[in-house]
Amino acid sequence: TIKYKKNANNKPEQSQSSSSTGGLLKSTGQLGKVMSESVEISQCVARSLLLNIIDENNTFFDDYNIHLHCPEGGIAKDGPSAGITMVTALLSLALNKSISPNIAMTGEVTLTGKILKIGGLKEKLLAAKRCKINTLLLPYDNYDDFYDDEYGIPKYLRQEFKDVHFVKNYNEVLHILFNDCLPSIKDDGTNEFDNKYNNNDSMDFGNQSPEMPKPL
């Protein structure tokens, strides 16, 4: 994912400065209809989180055009399970904060920020194992699948991962990946992030934390 502005010849160039003609999102990589819609949803969620919860003065999504490419463009891709990943990529770009390459995540994201169950969990975890991933962010509704030895994920595969987080909404992902970018703790012990989160009427993120994972 890169940000860019138009140069004097009206051609895109990668940029580190803001432009007044931003706000566009382009996606490439032979994406199917469902995945293309997921890109648009991810942009809406990332924009709302940035302005309503993280930093209302951050105008990144208005200042820059964004090109989101899914590699291996010769292979057709579809499905919504990359939603959580695309929101993370967009926020990483907007906040100028890199995410560890040892972290992998999957989950469909809704316009309200909820993370929905995905299919093909075992295949995704095998791919993560091959890439030497040690930390996972998974939908909370896949919790039982992850710990099902008979029909879900075998123990030998679960043990390949050091940390596994089960999330119900993107609010929890913010605390895991972007905690240092969230509003700081005040002297009275309250957190501006939690106040915005609990009082936000435009995005129903929920406020329940998942149960502690079972031992691997």
* Residues with catalytic roles: 81, 124
Place of tokens 């934390």: 209
Q: In the chain, which ranges are continuous DSSP H helix?
A: 33-49, 60-63, 83-95, 121-130, 143-146, 155-158, 170-177, 192-199
3-class SS at 114?
strand
Residue 169 near residue 139, CB atoms below 8 Å: no
Cα–Cα dist 203/216, whole Å: 34
* Pair 21, 4: CB distance under 8 Å: no
- How remote is the C-alpha of 10 from its chain's centroid? 31
Contact present, 146 and 111 (Cβ < 8 Å): no
d(CA 122, CA 134): 15
The C-alpha atoms of residue 169 and residue 47 are separated, in whole angstroms, by: 16
* Residue 185 near residue 193 (C-beta atoms within 8 A): no
Q: Determine the Cα–Cα distance for residues 58 and 56; give it in Å rounded to an integer.
A: 6
CB 31 within 8 A of CB 77: yes
